A and B are shown apart, each in its own frame.
Chain A
Amino acid sequence: MNLSFFDQFMSPHLMGIPLILISMLFPALLFPTPGNRWITNRLTTLQSWFLHLITKQLLTPLNKNGHKWALILTSLMTLLLTINLLGLLPYTFTPTTQLSMNMALAFPLWLATLLTGLRNQPSASLGHLLPEGTPTPLIPALIMIETTSLLIRPLALGVRLTANLTAGHLLIQLISTATTALLTIMPTISFLTTIILLLLTILEVAVAMIQAYVFVLLLSLYLQENI
């Protein structure tokens, strides 16, 4: 019985085609290219407003060089947000619950920020390994700690996204199973569980949006240090 709760995270196949392929390509359909009109349709207007909002938010702290990263950061943000939110619909598959996908996104981008820093300003980059004003005897230990914290960043980025989404989906499935099971036995408790389920769904929508934002925000922070 316990094992079947994790079945939702296995990508279903139909005639050899995995659903994950469609789930990853589908968000592209939801964002039509704006034409060359001044006043566009409502969907395009909403989309442009949203893109301007996140671009301003993410790129204000970065210097001129960092603005080269605008396209990848905003498209990453949009992709993660769409994938997370689409995963809350019934029967859909969320690719971001797979650690493989999140690590594939986190590791190269983090490595890119690290290599940019090491290449363009090596001493400043390495200087981040030692916070200012540390007492001299503590220096070796602190360098080890800072190096570890630097190297663990991609793992943290990937696992954070995976764990949050997986936990959310599992909780929804567990509580909804409890609600359906209790419906015949104790309808009052079933009603209370439905309230919990509603609150949880609202939380999951919020988590979906927050996690996408945090992922991209942290990447931009790592970029700020290094560019």
Chain B
Amino acid sequence: VCAAVLLKDMKLMDVKLGQLPSWVAMRDFTPGGIVGAMRRGYDRYYNKYINVKKGGLAGLSMVLAGYVVVSYIWSYSHI
């Protein structure tokens, strides 16, 4: 007997394509939820690339490259 996992608790990679809209609708979009999601994303990146014994230049460079890309998108209409 396999225990079925609720759609709400499934990770994104396990969600089937047809279930995607309902999965997105069930996510927590309150301000506290959004801040929590940003905090989780930040912690994931930080612990994977920066908070390691021998972190390299790549961890910081990816953030700066992302910043350049965001700035480009913001100023696209002005170029």
**How many A-B contacts are there with CB distance less than 8 Å?**
56
Task: Identify the closest chain A residue to B57 (Cβ).
Answer: A42
Q: Is B75 within 8 A of A19, CB to CB? A: yes
Provide the A29-61 mask, 1 if CB < 8 A to any CB of B, else 0.
Answer: 110100000000111100000000000000000
- CB within 8 Å for A91 and B64 given contacts A32-B50, A43-B55: no
Question: Chain B's interface: helix, strand, loop or mixed, by majority?
Answer: helix
- CB within 8 Å for A42 and B55 given contacts A30-B63, A32-B46, A91-B68: yes
Count the B residues whose beta carbon is within 8 Å of the partner chain — how many? 22
- CB within 8 Å for A12 and B60 given contacts A32-B46, A92-B67: no
- CB within 8 Å for A43 and B50 given contacts A19-B75, A92-B71: yes
Task: Identify the closest chain A residue to B78 (Cβ).
Answer: A12
Q: Is B59 within 8 A of A43, CB to CB? A: yes
Q: Which residues of A (4-46) have their CB < 8 Å from a CB of B?
A: 7, 10, 12-14, 19, 22-23, 26, 29-30, 32, 41-44
Interface residues of chain A, those whose CB is within 8 Å of chain B, are 7, 10, 12-14, 19, 22-23, 26, 29-30, 32, 41-44, 86, 89-93
Interface residues of chain B, those whose CB is within 8 Å of chain A, are 42, 46, 50-55, 59-60, 63-64, 67-68, 70-75, 77-78
